[in-house]
Amino acid sequence: MKAIVVERAGGPEVLQVAEVPRPRIERDDQVLVQVKAVGVNPIDYKMRG
């Protein structure tokens, strides 16, 4: 699956799209939620900038 990864501190230029392994459900009390879309609030991008 694709994910945004951050390997070091910095601005938006340090955000990278990468292929990562899909999380596994390892216990009966866990669930895996498929995310179709996310929202970004002004505070989110201001903190990155």
pLDDT at 49: 63
pLDDT in tens, 1-49: 999 898 988 878 888 999 999 999 999 999 999 999 988 888 877 776 6
pLDDT at 5: 92
- Give dist(CA 4, CA 12) in Å, integer: 11
Beta-strand relationship, 2-6 and 15-19:
antiparallel
Range of the domain at 41: 2-48
Q: How many domains does the chain contain in total?
A: 1
Residue 46, SS3 per DSSP:
helix
pLDDT at 25: 94
Q: What angle do CA 12, 18, 19 make, to 5 degrees?
A: 160
